[in-house]
Amino acid sequence: MRARIMTVRGYSLLEVASALQKAIRRSDAKLAGYWAVELFESGFQAYLWRRLLTISAEDCWGVITHEVEALYRSWALIHKQKPGGGRIFAAKATILLAQARKCRDADHLTNLVYDAQSVDEKQLEADLVAARDNIQPIPDYAFDCHTQKGRKAGKTKRDFFRDEHKALKPREKGLFDDLADEL
């Protein structure tokens, strides 16, 4: 059994990361910002930046990754001189990602086109626990096949690709939309 890594407010780290990414996909900048600051204030700054950079490639259209990378470099410069500082750069990156046009072509290319046969439910299973009741509840859409609660509810990879594709807002037409629409 994996150790449960928790944030300062008692949330599961991986469930907060899931909620962050799902809020960005849905253009909910306020909620995404809440989760980003929760990760930042919990001491998971490096993890937050890895997630934001990944989200920029998985979920966003165009060259937004360059903007996020520049904000990361700005944070790193401030953090080097003042550890724990530079939260504003993570906040700006989160807002930019939430407001960016969405397109999951890169993720669809690697999973639905190239590795179509390698998508395996067991490969993505993680031993997560439900977040405690707290100031901001984790939204139901964060509980997908990547979380224990989602798997217990019967959520599958098919549900994930279909639901997250439909949730992109604003969404740019993607090269592989037809594959996701068929699910």
Report how far residue 124's alpha carbon sits from residue 146's, in angstroms, rounded to the nearest whole number.
Answer: 6
Q: What is the pLDDT of residue 47?
A: 97
Is the pLDDT at 128 greater than 80? The verdict is no
**Are the C-beta atoms of residues 123 and 144 closer than 8 Å to each other?**
no
**Are the C-beta atoms of residues 26 and 140 closer than 8 Å to each other?**
no
Residue identified by tokens 């996909």 is 25
Is the pLDDT at 159 greater than 50? The verdict is yes
Domain spans of the chain, in order of start: 13-181
Report how far residue 121's alpha carbon sits from residue 171's, in angstroms, rounded to the nearest whole number.
Answer: 27
Is the pLDDT at 124 greater than 70? The verdict is no
Q: pLDDT tier at 130 (50, 70, 90 boundaries)?
A: very low
Q: What is the pLDDT of residue 171?
A: 83
In order of 49, 115, 139, the CA distances from 86 in angstroms are 12, 38, 28
Q: What is the pLDDT of residue 133?
A: 41
- What is the fold, at CATH topology level, of the domain defined by 13-181? Zinc Finger, Delta Prime; domain 3 (1.20.272)
pLDDT in tens, 34-78: 999 999 999 999 999 999 999 999 999 999 999 999 999 999 999
Average pLDDT over residues 140-157: 90
Q: What is the pLDDT of residue 109?
A: 86
Q: What is the pLDDT of residue 117?
A: 60
pLDDT in tens, 25-45: 999 999 999 999 999 999 999
Q: What is the pLDDT of residue 129?
A: 36
Average pLDDT over residues 104-130: 63
Identify the bridge partners of residue 60 per DSSP, sorted by sequence position: 102
Q: pLDDT tier at 111 (50, 70, 90 boundaries)?
A: confident
| Exposure class string for 16-28: b at 16+ Cβ within 10 A, else e | bbbbbbbbbbbbb
